[in-house]
Amino acid sequence: MDRDQVGFGRFRLDLNRRQLAREGVPVRLSSRALDILCTLALAKGEVVSKDELMSRVWPDLVVDENTIRVHISALRKALDEGASGQTHLMTVPGRGYRLIGLVPPLSAANGGADASAAPAPSERPSIAVLPFQNMSGDPEQEYFADGMVEEIITGLSRIKWLSVISRNSTSIYKNKPVVIKEVAEKLGVRYVLEGGVRKSGHRVRISAQLIDGNTDAHLWAQHYDRVLEDVFALQDEITMCVVGAIEPSLWRAEIERVKRRRPTNLSAYDLVLRSLPFVLGHIPEDSEAAIPLLEEALRLEPDYAAAHAFLGRCFHHRYARAGLREQDRLAAIQHSRAAVGHGSDDATALAAAAHIIALDEHDTATALRLFDRALELSNSNIFALSFSAIILAWMGKTELAVERAERALRLSPFDFYNWRVHHALAIVHFCRGRYADALNAAHSAVHANPRFSTAHAVLAAALLRAGRAAEAQAAAREVLRHESGFTIHAVWLVAGQLEPAVFDLFAAAWREVGLPD
The 3-state secondary structure of 376-399, one letter per residue: HHCCCCHHHHHHHHHHHHHCCCHH
Provide CATH code, domain 4-111: 1.10.10.10
Q: Report whether CATH 3.40.50.10610 matches the domain 126-251.
A: yes
Q: How many angstroms separate the Cα of 295 from the Cα of each of 6, 311, 345, 404, 470?
A: 43, 8, 22, 32, 45
Question: Which among 344, 342, 332 has a CA at the least distance from the CA of 369?
Answer: 344
Say whether 47 sits in a helix, a strand or coil.
coil
- How far is residue 453's CA from residue 447's CA, in Å, rounded to a whole number? 12
Mean pLDDT by 10 residues, the chain (517 residues): 34 38 49 74 73 75 70 71 51 71 39 40 77 80 83 85 82 86 87 89 88 89 84 83 85 82 76 89 88 93 93 95 93 96 90 96 96 90 93 96 92 77 96 96 93 94 96 95 93 95 96 95
Dihedrals φ, ψ of 242, to 5°? -65, -50
CB 384 within 8 A of CB 374: yes
CB 162 within 8 A of CB 156: yes
Q: Could you give the residue range(s) of every CATH 1.10.10.10 domain in the chain? A: 4-111
The DSSP symbol for 362 reads -
Q: Could you give the residue range(s) of every CATH 1.25.40.10 domain in the chain? A: 380-517
- How far is residue 281's CA from residue 274's CA, in Å, rounded to a whole number? 13
The total of other beta-carbon atoms located within 10 Å of residue 213's CB is 23
Q: How many angstroms separate the Cα of 399 from the Cα of each of 332, 377, 378, 393, 429?
A: 29, 22, 21, 9, 11
Say whether 3 sits in a helix, a strand or coil.
coil
Residue 61 is predicted with a pLDDT of: 65
Burial string for 230-257 (b: 16+ CB within 10 Å, else e) reads eeeebbebbbbbbbbbbbbbbbbbbbeb
Q: What is the pTM of this model?
A: 0.71
Measured in whole angstroms, how far is the alpha carbon of residue 278 from the centre of its chain?
18
Q: Which fold has domain 380-517?
A: 1.25.40
Residue 365 is predicted with a pLDDT of: 96
CB 162 within 8 A of CB 154: no
Long-range contacts of 425-429 (CB under 8 A, 24+ apart): 425/389, 425/393, 425/401, 426/455, 426/458, 426/459, 426/462, 427/390, 427/393, 427/394, 427/401, 427/458, 427/502, 428/393, 428/398, 428/401, 428/402, 429/462
Q: Could you give the residue range(s) of every CATH 3.40.50.10610 domain in the chain? A: 126-251
- How far is residue 371's CA from residue 391's CA, in Å, rounded to a whole number? 10
